[in-house]
Amino acid sequence: MLENLTRRPPRTETKPLPRPYPWAYARAHAPRFMPGRPAMKRVTVTGATGRIGSRLVEALKDRGDDVCVLSRNADRASTALGVEAVGWDPKAGDAPSQALQGRDAVIHLAGEDVGQRWTDRAKAEIRSSREQGTRNLVAGMLAAQPRPSLLVSASASGYYGPRGDEIVDESSPPGRDWLADVCVRWEQSADSAARGARVVKVRTGIVLDAEGGALAKMLPPFKAGVGGPVAGGRQYMPWIHRDDLVGIYLAAIDSEDFDGPVNASAPDPVTNKVFAKALGTALHRPAVAPVPGLVIKGMYGEMSQIVLTGVRMVPGRAPQLGYAFQHPDLAEALRDTLAGG
């Protein structure tokens, strides 16, 4: 039966991802997480064709792990990533247990993009893709024999809701807005895998990636010299370089000390005004043109609250568990991102 679902990678070489890719995490943490050459891990990934998923798969392959991905389009995923792919629609039913049995880790990244106008239909898709999709994945994990020993599930800084200047870490309670409720239910669905498995929930901030996400949307006006702070720029932005996000996922796989919620953001969150100035400097462009909040509300509707409020999230646990950020400085992280790092 599994043969009917599985698509193995073609023999032809796939196009490599942009280099250099700093697998420095693995080298820097070898004494703690990977003494000598680490034992090969058997890892299954959902959402693997996305921006973060594809880089995580490449990192796992580079260090010799056995990678399988679950995807709606197994043929396309296998061709794009050069790994074994198994067909699965997260909303259609339980994940195929045959593709999960005996895996050392399952990395769950699949979910509808939050960065869109929140129509009723979009909100329903954002919620169901996380809550129902995660429940269906866990059901497949629980049916697998032997069961996977680890689930690392994506979550988001939206878990905490708008908090102004308050510094929040993993011990802080959830917010009370719609997105916070989505994140709470998302994490609760992941926690149902805790029967015999370690569960890590990666609460992710704004990922620095010139090819997609928030930064990609900011680049055109900033490159044109008409970028600047939004709505006064006092709201905080918990940012993280995409390579550090991948590094945190690798750390969660390799170290059993990682458990429960882990904030994935750089140690020093900055205000939108500071971020705008740093981005302008990195692009050698002025960044003083203010963007009124009403303009953002008109463009994005309810979703604009993410841009206009923000949260001062800090990584409390990752550094305590031994993770050393490769890009802790915003100016350097922006330069590296814009240079194609």
pLDDT at 117 over 90: yes
**Looking at residues 228-251, what average pLDDT do you find?**
98
Report whether 44 contacts 53 (CB < 8 A). no
Alpha-carbon span 101 to 97, nearest angstrom: 6
**Alpha-helix runs per DSSP H in 255-292:** 272-283
Please report, for residues 99, 217, 218, 295, 302, the alpha-carbon distance to residue 312 in angstroms, rounded to integers and kept in the order given: 39, 21, 20, 23, 20
**Looking at residues 241-249, what average pLDDT do you find?**
98
pLDDT band, residue 7 (cuts 50/70/90): low
pLDDT at 140 over 70: yes
Residue type, 101: Q
pLDDT at 118 over 70: yes
Give pLDDT, residue 280.
98
> Positive or negative, the Cα torsion across 43, 46, 51, 54?
positive
CB-based contacts of 173: which residues, under 8 Å, 6+ apart? none
| Number of domains composing the chain | 1
Closest CA to 189 of 133, 111, 256, 106: 133
pLDDT band, residue 17 (cuts 50/70/90): very low
pLDDT at 8 over 80: no
pLDDT band, residue 216 (cuts 50/70/90): very high
How confident is the model over 262-280, as pLDDT tens digits?
A: 999 999 999 999 999 999 9
Of 244 and 16, more confident: 244
Give pLDDT, residue 38.
59
How confident is the model over 51-62, as pLDDT tens digits?
A: 999 999 999 999
How confident is the model over 314-332, as pLDDT tens digits?
A: 999 999 999 999 999 999 9
pTM: 0.90
How confident is the model over 270-316, as pLDDT tens digits?
A: 999 999 999 999 999 999 999 999 999 999 999 999 999 999 999 99
pLDDT at 211 over 50: yes
CATH number at 122 reads 3.40.50.720
Domain of residue 154, residue span: 2-338
Give pLDDT, residue 19.
33
Q: What percent of the chain is modeled with pLDDT above 90?
A: 87
pLDDT at 33 over 80: no
Give pLDDT, residue 212.
92
pLDDT band, residue 25 (cuts 50/70/90): very low
> Mean pLDDT across the chain, nearest whole number?
90
pLDDT at 219 over 60: yes
pLDDT at 28 over 50: no
